[in-house]
Amino acid sequence: MKKFVYTITLSFILWSCGGSGGDEPAPTPVNEAPSTPELVGPANNELCIDSAVTFSWNASADPEGDAITYQLEIAQDNQFASIDHTLYVSGTSKAVSLERGVAYYWRVKATDINNAASAYSATYQFYTEGAGSQNHIPFVPTLVSPGLNAIVQEASTTLTWTASDVDNDPLTFDVYFGTTNPPDQVATDQTELSYDVSLEASSTYYWKVVVKDDKGGEAIGQVWGFKTD
C-alpha cells in the first residue's frame, strides 16, 4: 500500500514539474507597422520657383526598430487616380524634376522590411512656376462630406468641400449634382464652400465642383458619389 501511494505521489510531482507535454513554444511576436510620415516640404499650397523640387518628410518610428522604406507618390490629381511618379526612398528626402506651370499633389507612406505599412500621410499640393508672369489656376476642390461612397440616411445633406489658390485669388464655385453621371449643374458662381440638397431613399447620387478664380482660371473637380439608405 505504501509503495502504491509513493508511486502516485512521485507521478504527480513529475507531472507538475514537467507539464502535460513539454514546454509550449512562445507565440510569434506580431510585427507592427511604422508610424505615418509627416510631410515637411514643399509646404501645402506652395509656389515652387524651381521645377527641380526636393520633397522631404519626418522619419517614421518603427516599434521593432526595423529598417523603413518610404513610398513617395506625386500626381496631378488629388485622388491619385493617375500617378506621375512613384518612388521608393530609404531616406527622408528626394529631389524630382517636374513640369513647369503644373499643380501637383503628393503623399508618403512608410513600409518596414516585413511589409507592414503605415497609412498615407496627409496630401499636400503645390504649383511649379511657369515661364514668365502668369495666373495659376486654382487647385482642384477637396472632398469634405459626404465621404466618398458614404451611406446617407437623412432626407437631406450638405455637400461640403475645400479649395485654395496659390495666387490667393477670390474663388467662386459651380456645383453639379444628381442621380446621373455626369451630374447636372445646380449652382453657378457661388462663393460658399457648401451646398444643401434634398435626397430620395435608395438612390445613388453624384456630384462635382468646378472652382474658378477672377482671372478666368478654373479647375474641374472629380465626380464624387454617395448613396442613400
What is the chain's Cα-based Rg? 28
| Domains of the chain from N-terminus onward | 38-128 (2.60.40.10), 142-228 (2.60.40.10)
Cα 219–Cα 50–Cα 108 angle in degrees, nearest 5: 65
The pLDDT of residue 134 is 74
Q: What is the pTM of this model?
A: 0.72
CA torsion sign for 142, 148, 152, 155 is positive
Q: What is the mean pLDDT of the chain?
A: 88
Position 23 confidence tier, pLDDT thresholds 50, 70, 90 = low
In the numeric block, the cell 454617395 is attached to 226
H or E, element range at 88: strand 83-89
The residue among 88, 115, 87, 109 whose CA lies nearest residue 38 is 109
In a 13 Å sphere around the CA of 150, the CA atoms on its Cβ side amount to 13
Position 24 confidence tier, pLDDT thresholds 50, 70, 90 = low
Neighbours of 1 (CB within 10 A): 5
Q: Which residues contact 168 (CB under 8 A, 6 or more apart)?
A: none
Cell readout for 195 is 451646398
Maximum distance among all Cα pairs of the chain, rounded to whole angstroms: 108
The residue among 55, 54, 52, 48 whose CA lies nearest residue 129 is 48
Strand 124-128 to 46-48 pairing: parallel
Position 101 confidence tier, pLDDT thresholds 50, 70, 90 = confident
Q: Which residues contact 229 (CB under 8 A, 6 or more apart)?
A: 151, 152, 153, 201, 202
Average pLDDT, stretch 197-215?
95
Single-letter code of the amino acid located at 149: N
CA torsion sign for 74, 76, 79, 83 is negative
Average pLDDT, stretch 148-174?
94
